C-alpha cells in the first residue's frame, strides 16, 4: 500500500480546504475521480473530487548529480494527491450544498462524467 495525503482545494482556488491521509493500492492519477465516504454520512453518499496533481516529496542521500561508487537509494517522504471539488452521482446532500454554492459564485465544478443516475441523498432517506 502507498500512503498519501488527499488534499481537497477550496472551490476555485489552489489553497487547501482540508486534507485526509489514505493508504492506496495504487496512486490516483490526474483526472481520476475520488469519492470519500465519512462516518457522519451513510453509504454510498460521499464527498467527491477530481485529481488535479500528484506531488511527490523525495529525499536522497547523494549530494552530487551522479551516484558515485556504492548505489545509494532515496526514499519517499510524502505524497500529496491534490484535488478540486466535484460532484459524483452519490454526492451527499451536504456536499451538493458545497458544489451548488460554488456554482452560485460562478466557480466551475465538474460533474463526474459517468453514465449513472444522480440520486440525491434526500430522495432516498
Question: What would the pLDDT profile of 46-103 be if each residue is shown by its tens digit?
Answer: 999 999 999 999 999 888 777 667 788 899 999 999 999 999 999 999 999 999 999 9
Residue 80: predicted pLDDT: 98
Record the cell numbers describing residue 39, joined without a space.
462516518
The owner of cell 482545494 is 9
Give the mean pLDDT of 25-39. 96
Cβ atoms 116, 89 nearer than 8 A = yes
The pLDDT mean for the chain works out to 91
DSSP 123: G
pLDDT reading at 6 higher than 80: yes
Contact between residue 13 and residue 59 where contact means Cβ atoms under 8 Å apart: no
Whether pLDDT at 115 is above 90:
no
Q: State the pLDDT confidence band at 121, using cuts at 50, 70 and 90.
A: low
By the 8 A CB rule, do 27 and 46 touch?
no
Name the more confident of 125 and 116. Answer: 116
pLDDT at 67: 62
Of all residues in the chain, the percent with pLDDT exceeding 70 is: 90
Is the separation of the CB atoms in 45 and 98 below 8 Å?
no
Measured CA to CA, the distance from residue 121 to residue 92 in angstroms comes to 6
Q: What's the grid cell of residue 122?
A: 434526500
Query: Taking the domains of the chain in order of start, what are their residue ranges?
Result: 2-62+74-123
Contact 79/57 with Cβ under 8 angstroms? yes
At 98, phi and psi to the nearest 5?
-65, -50
pLDDT for res 122? 66
Query: CA torsion sign, 32 to 12 to 37 to 77?
Result: positive
Amino acid at each position: 500500500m502507498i500512503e498519501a495525503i488527499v488534499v481537497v482545494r477550496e472551490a476555485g482556488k489552489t489553497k487547501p480546504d482540508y486534507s485526509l491521509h489514505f493508504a492506496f493500492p495504487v496512486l490516483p492519477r490526474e483526472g481520476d475521480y475520488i469519492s470519500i465516504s465519512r462516518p457522519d454520512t451513510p453509504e454510498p453518499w460521499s464527498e467527491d473530487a477530481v485529481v488535479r496533481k500528484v506531488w511527490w516529496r523525495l529525499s536522497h542521500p547523494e549530494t552530487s548529480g551522479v551516484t558515485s561508487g556504492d548505489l545509494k537509494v532515496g526514499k519517499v517522504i510524502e505524497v500529496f494527491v491534490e484535488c478540486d471539488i466535484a460532484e459524483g452521482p452519490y454526492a451527499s446532500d451536504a456536499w451538493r450544498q458545497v458544489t451548488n454554492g460554488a456554482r452560485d459564485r460562478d466557480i466551475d465544478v465538474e460533474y463526474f462524467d459517468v453514465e449513472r443516475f444522480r440520486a440525491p441523498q434526500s430522495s432516498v432517506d
